[in-house]
Chains A and B, each alone.
Chain A
Amino acid sequence: MYAIRRTATQRLSALTHSSHFLSTQSRFTTQRSRLASTLAILEQREGGLNSASLGAVTAGAKLGGSIHGFIAGKNVKPIAEEASKVSGLEKIITVENEAYDRGLAENWAPLLVENIKKGGYTHVIVGHSAFGKNLLPRVAALLDVQQISDVMSIEGEDTFVRPIYAGNAILTVQSTDPIKLLTVRQTSFPPAEIADGSATIEEGTDPSAPQPTQWVSENLTKSDRPELATAGKVVSGGRGLKSKEEFDRLMPPLADALGAAIGAMRRCRQWTGKNVAPQLYLCAGISGAIQHLAGMKDSKVIACINKDGDAPIFGVADVGLVGDLFEVVPELTEKLKA
């Protein structure tokens, strides 16, 4: 029984030093420091590093201790070399295998479990992107860890802040797990810079787990506009626009005049959409139901156009204009271009 019922601390030691156990068989190495040792998972896509995932490195830096980056996929060498210049990264672990190209959780999860155990990490961080959200809970279950999602702030090596109830409440939690698994909010942790880092590059372990799921195709929206989650300015239109045709007629020109990204409204937007925190959030025809306010209330300046002067949106907007958006939006677009 004694051997099985190990405490969390003992499990931590075992995990943290499993590599030492393997190499030296010495039990004394378990007494070494408990400094954070973080694995930041970096997304790569078609030969490029997804800079947004570098927020994981920024978050890792808050923990102190060492940070290793993790990259897997086809032709990862050039990406690993780019990542090695990221300030704060000590080592890049790479796994060269085309099977990881599409980020399928079914084979990525065993891959990460192997490499987390091998590296004895205390923290594993990935961006709160579609990839991170899909993958990390599966890893957490395999490691028997309660993951922490959408972390906004790191208060200590085991204490994290995250939004609940669509951002209507902010929760601070302390984790008792031996390894902390975090997805981090992009708007809270800006990408670490690709600058003068000099991380070493090392090959990781590839368990080559079977891949029961087949990737078939993708359909991504092509746009020259700034990406919504990181844009400095965002324009958004709601039900007041009446139809998709009206939306497409009025909002893109306004976005272009401002150099803004476009956030389309739909029912329950905040659950399905992204949170944004731009310098300027300008919306038209949005009444401001709480579900929508949650996704944009971290914006620096909120401006709204609505014909109903009593719409809840005016309660949060720094600048509000009561008026018919079908007149006001084109006028605003023209005057901004001038």
Chain B
Amino acid sequence: MSTKLRILVPVKRVIDYAVKPRVKADKTGVETSGVKHSLNPFDELSIEEAVRLRERKLPVEEIVAVSAGPAKCADTLRTAMAMGADRSIHIDVPEDKPLEPLGVAKVLKAIAEQEKSNLIFLGKQAIDDDSGQTGQMLAGLLDWPQATQASEVTLSGDDITVEREVDGGTETLKAKLPMIITTDLRLNELDMRLEKKTLKDYGIDDTPRLKTIKVEEPPQRKGGGKVEDVDGMISKLKELGAL
């Protein structure tokens, strides 16, 4: 009889990955007001992984999402719950005084103890501060084993086998619960569960009713020097000293 999994998934609200961040004129930071925010992509993978363990009929007792930040973090937690987290905890932190990874790790330690968590999935890094520290710090504070940059997680009883991305390839580690795992992009593809359908499957006639007369480019910024052909490219590269 294996231990029931009480999974904790810390999530962070960050500027959406597709938005190009703009540095504030006064150099105090990056403009965040009026900018689209989303759940940190790596945290999305963490929740997905937790949900998949449950789908694989592993003994998942509860998946709790947690986020520390301003009131708007509630949106992030709602997304986490929509994806399959059972419950969430919002730690109110003023927007102008964000926690550093060490502070986040300390509060997560307290929550993990309070919630009696035995498996914690974190994203390998937040795409705003790019520190990549919180999971390892939390593992250190809790004195639990860690597997960072996980690309595959396998559970068998209390044994966890994790394939992790390292420089030049992967390595495989094995440890026992409780454990900290940080997720890398290869861990799961969120769109893998999408059913592929075509309009034909639904018998819809897709003949357009409108005809396109012309499509024009919007004004573009100028690129840096195009060449005509391969010879042009080679000579330009030589000119630039790149060959």
Contacts and interface: CB of A to CB of B under 8 A. Distances in A.
Interface residues of B, number: 73
A144 B102 contact: yes
A140 B133 contact: yes
A319 B240 contact: yes
A146 B137 CA distance: 10
B21 A213 contact: no
B174 interface: yes
A3 interface: no
A213 B145 contact: yes
Contacts of A212: 144-145, 175-176
B172 A218 contact: yes
Contacts of A216: 161, 171-174
Contacts of B217: 310
A31 interface: no
A309 interface: yes
A321 B30 contact: no
Contact of A332 (B30, B225, B230): B230
B208 interface: no
A145 interface: yes
A268 B17 contact: yes
A193 B199 CA distance: 63
Nearest to A299: B242
B169 A220 contact: yes
A335 B235 CA distance: 11
A280 B221 CA distance: 23
Interface residues of A, number: 75
B21 A105 contact: no
Interface in A65-98: none
A303 interface: yes
A268 B21 CA distance: 16
B185 A218 contact: no
A48 B143 CA distance: 30
A319 B227 CA distance: 7
A147 B133 contact: yes
Nearest to B27: A172
Contacts of B105: 141
Nearest to A328: B230
Contacts of A322: 226
A25 B231 CA distance: 75
Contacts, number: 216
Interface stretch (B56-64, B79-87, B112-120, B121-129): B121-129
Given A168-B20, A216-B174, A218-B170, A301 B242 contact: yes
Interface string A130-153: 110111111111101111011000
Interface in B143-197: 144-149, 161, 165-176, 184-186
A220 B139 CA distance: 26
Nearest to A170: B23
A301 B241 CA distance: 9
A279 interface: yes
A35 interface: no
A272 interface: yes
A219 interface: yes
A140 B226 CA distance: 48
Contacts of B203: none
Contact of B166 (A218, A227, A266, A291): A218
A46 interface: no
Interface stretch (A115-123, A159-167, A245-253): A159-167
Q: Which of B125, B231, B232, B240 has most chain A Cβ within 10 Å?
A: B240
B170 A214 contact: no
Contacts of A301: 237, 240-242
Interface string A102-126: 1011100100000000000000000
Interface of A: 102, 104-106, 109, 129-131, 133-142, 144-147, 149-150, 162-166, 168-169, 212-221, 227, 233, 258, 266-268, 271-272, 279-280, 289-291, 300-301, 303, 305, 309-310, 314-323, 328, 331-332, 335-336
14 contacts: A105-B136, A134-B136, A137-B132, A137-B134, A140-B133, A145-B102, A149-B130, A150-B132, A164-B129, A218-B166, A233-B242, A279-B241, A315-B221, A328-B230
Given A321-B232, A335-B234, 9 more contacts: A130-B167, A134-B146, A147-B102, A149-B131, A150-B132, A290-B18, A309-B226, A314-B223, A316-B224
CB-CB nearest 6 A-B residue pairs: A314-B223, A137-B136, A220-B169, A137-B133, A141-B137, A141-B140
